[in-house]
Amino acid sequence: MHTLKELAGFIDAKLVGNGGLEIAGIASVAAANGNQLSYVISKKYTKDLKSTQAGAVILHSDLLSDCPTNALVVADVHLAFAQISHYFKPKTTHFHGIHPSAKIGNSKIAENCVIGENVTIGDGCEIGANSTISAGVVIGNNTNFQPNVVVLENCKIGNNVTVAAGAVIGSEGFGNAKDSKGNWHSIAHLGSVEIGDNVSIGANTTIDRGTLEDTQIHSGVRLDNLIHIAHNVIIGENTAIAANTGIAGSTTLGKRCMIGGMVGIVGHLNICDDVIVNAKSTVDKDIKSAGNYTGIMPLMPHKQWQNIGIWLTKLDKITRYLNIKLKNLKD
């Protein structure tokens, strides 16, 4: 634990409130309790700030009047959060073999696997050769890992899950803040990954852990090979995603969606249930209505894209026709 006064010193913040308060962790402004620190980047989150139960909040001076609790006032909230997050990141301990504290049911563990401290593995599982399961991971029953799977600290995996070779679950998310000199400062990702039941994860797919809360893959999801799912993404039940798709941080996909290959989905979006996104599309805005979408150009309903596509194929003929008309007018 650190006192609020110590934390203020770490990030050169102005302390407003009880400097002796001990802080045990970091959480979102909506979820934090009295022994946790939170942060608010902009006025967009004023409503959550006013009702927060956090012990203290990192914020800019223009939000101080809306803060009902202790505050650490800084000029750059994002940078301050990046710096302070590392003080709460658990230390990783490396271990070879199977740790004596691991609880392994009636399951098969192949050669050269690493099973960390306080890992729990249910019955009927098969863990492929050279796989690594780090401290605190919980795995349900009848789950199958092919060789060279990596599951990092404190991730939770349900029952009847299949994970293909080379997949990485719980890797550090891609979060960074830039200082006034243009230098990048990484953000420690303190959340985890939670995977439901009957999920299939393809080869060399990567699922990043959440920043403060968990990345969530709900039951029945199908993930192809070479997919990247960033921090804090939520994927609804029975959604299927094809290869080479990338989903940026804090985006939520609904239930029963089908995402084609090489789709790019930007961050902080909400995609409703029963959406189809065709291959190579770029999704750059919320999708609020179920349907079939294509977005190589700006995303639009698929039927509209089909009409535009017809005109695009005729542009050469239209241009020649207009040039002939223009020439006749000049003559």
Determine, yes or no, domain membership for 324.
Answer: no
% of residues, the chain, pLDDT over 90: 85
Q: Residue 2 — very low, low, confident or very high, per pLDDT cuts 50/70/90?
A: very high
Tell me the CATH number at 72. 3.40.1390.10
Examine the domain organization and report whether 118 and 37 are in the same domain. Answer: no
Query: Would you say residue 1 has pLDDT above 90?
Result: no
Question: What's CA 139's distance to the chain center, in Å?
Answer: 20
What would the pLDDT profile of 190-235 be if each residue is shown by its tens digit?
A: 999 999 999 999 999 999 999 999 999 999 999 999 999 999 999 9
What would the pLDDT profile of 6-55 be if each residue is shown by its tens digit?
A: 999 999 999 999 999 999 999 999 999 999 999 999 998 999 999 999 99
Range of the domain at 55: 2-88
Q: How far apart are CA 42 and CA 326, in angstroms?
A: 55
User: DSSP code of 64?
Assistant: G
The sheet carrying 222-223 orders its strands as 108-109, 126-127, 144-145, 162-163, 200-201, 222-223, 240-241, 258-259, 275-277, 291-294, 300-301
Examine the domain organization and report whether 173 and 70 are in the same domain. Answer: no
Catalytic residue among 228, 231, 268, 302: 231
Examine the domain organization and report whether 213 and 292 are in the same domain. Answer: yes
| C-alpha pair distances (Å), 50 with each of 16, 25, 44, 172 | 16, 20, 12, 31
Examine the domain organization and report whether 190 and 293 are in the same domain. Answer: yes
CB atoms within 10 A of CB 106: 10
Number of domains the chain contains: 2
Known active-site residue 96:
no
Examine the domain organization and report whether 188 and 143 are in the same domain. Answer: yes
